[in-house]
Structure 1
Amino acid sequence: MKKLLTIILSLCFIASFAAKRKYQYVKITTSKGEVIIKLYNETPLHRDNFLKLAKEGFYNGTIFHRVIKDFMIQGGDPDSKNATPEKMLGSGGLKYTIPAEFRDSLFHKKGVLAAARDNNPEKASSSSQFYIVQGKVWTDSALKVTEETRLKFKIPEWQRQVYKTIGGSPHLDKNYTVYGEVVKGLEMVDNIAAIPTGKANRPKEDIKMTVTVLKKREVRKLEREFKKEAEKK
């Protein structure tokens, strides 16, 4: 009985600790602004992979090589570093993929960070390439068509309201892993999405990025800002 009680108390402690887990944040800086992104704890494989690459400086100097207005901005191809204007991009990466981590609560609303991938049956993600959704605002009728022709499932009502107000790209749901969201600086996404593009949707102007992981003091400052903003509402 005593041993059982000890096990139960230990499990309660672990559950309590997990409930208080802090989020990790990364900052992407470009000539068009910067965003701060919260990485989801619900997608640990993608979260940890992105953090690892960011800490190694892997993304620094790469560009947003594929940009489609009202859809998304994509980057993370290591071949894009110092690439010539004629170079076709989008196939670069490391020699591994990341298993899909689909979660019903995570969907393609405007501002989310998601993993790019090639066409594989497991829907495994690229080791490094990612995109940030700009998307657009949807109507009920357009969402219904997307459900019937692309998704083959019904979008939950609370998510429909987000797509009808904030916007996003619902046709990607449960096809590409969402693993973070912009919490500050969403204007950068809009600025990059507005850039003229050429062949293969590559911007005519190279938008290089620097990706860093926020330190604890930076996270504390950020969370204080969020708290003040919430108190004003």
Structure 2
Amino acid sequence: MISINFTNLKKSLLLFAALLCLCLGAFAQSKNTYVKIETPQGWCVVKLYNQTPVHRDNFIKLVKSHYFDATTLNRILKGFVIQGGDPDSLYDKGRTLKPEMKWITPEFVAGLYHRRGVVAMGRDANKTESSYTTQFYIVDGRTWTNDELDAIEKKYNTHFTEAQRNTYRSVGGTPFLDGHYTVFGEIVKGIELIDQVTAVTVDKNGNPATPVWMKLTVLKPQEVAKTLK
């Protein structure tokens, strides 16, 4: 006759359930969220980094609430950045942000730097280098020489890894922003949008002559597979 210890069996099942939950949680966290940015000039798909969860979740919340759909890419500087999400460009000019919506704690992560095509959050000149919650930018930038990178290291008391140097020499970007603005995503498809948008006519401040409206959408898993294939 087989004897079953139900107490031990129950403990084993509970342990298995706990381990399963941990595995599923880790799997869910490892999956990235993708956002599609559409403009009159073209579109791109951005992968949001899980290493910057505060900025990621803030951005997703704004996209899902259609906040950005009423704003424009209002600052377009070829060789530097394309910036959008300024609340001043909302249709509803009387709208004001709640205090808690204005800034979020920076998330500077080694390995996430300002190469061409990354997405980062803008900010004002504050001591903590906290980010705005609504104003993001896409890096255009330019390529840099070793001498120029040496000068930036000296001026900003920073250090570029060999991987960063290789990227800035070949791909380009805005290395002087590293460690001061939070990078939270990157374009994974449609990087030609940068050239398409920076080709529009702008004034000396980078304000486009014709508003560049945008529509942002969080892609569903099946949409990601279809769009990125």
- TM, length-normalised to structure 1: 0.83
Counterpart of 1:186 (choices 187, 191, 198) is: 191
2:168 to 142, 163, 166: 163
Deviation at 1:83, TM superposition (A): 9.1
Residue aligning to 1:88: none
1:138 matched residue in structure 2: 144
Tell me which residue corresponds to 2:130.
124
Question: 1:64 maps to which residue?
Answer: 73
Please say if residues 137 and 164 of structure 1, whose CA atoms lie closer than 8 Å, have aligned partners that are also in contact. Answer: yes
CA 1:163/1:7 → structure 2, altered by over 3 Å: closer, same or farther? farther
Distance in 1 separating the partners of 2:178 and 2:15: 39
1:82 Cα offset (Å): 4.4
Q: 1:164 to 1:7 in 2, by over 3 A?
A: farther
User: What RMSD, in angstroms, separates the aligned Cα atoms of the two structures?
Assistant: 2.4
User: 2:168, 2:97 → 1: CA distance?
Assistant: 31
Give per-residue Cα distances to partners, 1:57-99, cap 9 Å, x unaligned: 0000311111111010000012213499xxxxxxx85533110
Distance 1:77 1:93, change over 3 A: farther
State the partner residue of 1:203: 208
Instruction: Show the counterpart of 1:36.
Output: 45
Shift in alpha-carbon separation, 1:9–1:138, aligned structure 2, 3 A: farther
Letter in 2 for 1:46: H
- Partners of 1:35 and 1:194 in 2: CA distance: 16
CA distance in 2, matches of 1:41, 1:78: 26
**Structure 1 position 78 matched with structure 2 position 87:** yes
Distance 1:170 1:196, change over 3 A: same
AA in 1 matched with 2:171: I
SS at match of 1:218: helix
Measure, in 2, the Cα distance between the counterparts of 1:125 and 1:45.
11
Match of 2:221 among 202, 216, 220: 216
Equivalent in the alignment of 1:173: 178
1:45-124 correspondence runs (5 A): 45-82=54-91, 94-95=98-99, 96=101, 97-124=103-130
In structure 2, relative to structure 1, the CA distance for the partners of 1:170 and 1:19 (3 Å cut) is farther
Q: Any stretches of 5+ residues in structure 2 without a counterpart?
A: 1-7
Q: For residue 204 of structure 1, report the CA deviation from its aligned partner.
A: 1.3
**TM-score (norm. length: structure 2):** 0.85
Shift of 1:215: 1.1
When Rg is computed on C-alpha atoms for both structures, the one with the higher figure is 2
Write the distance in 1 (CA, Å) between the matches of 2:125 and 2:211.
Answer: 27
Determine helix, strand or coil for the equivalent of 2:74. Answer: strand
Deviation of the 1:200 alpha carbon: 2.7
TM-fit CA distance, 1:220:
2.7
Tell me how far apart the structure 2 counterparts of residues 65 and 49 of structure 1 sit (CA, whole Å). Answer: 20
> What letter is aligned with 1:115?
M
TM-superposed deviation, 1:11 = 6.7
Segments of structure 1 that go 5 or more residues without pairing to the other structure are 85-91, 226-233
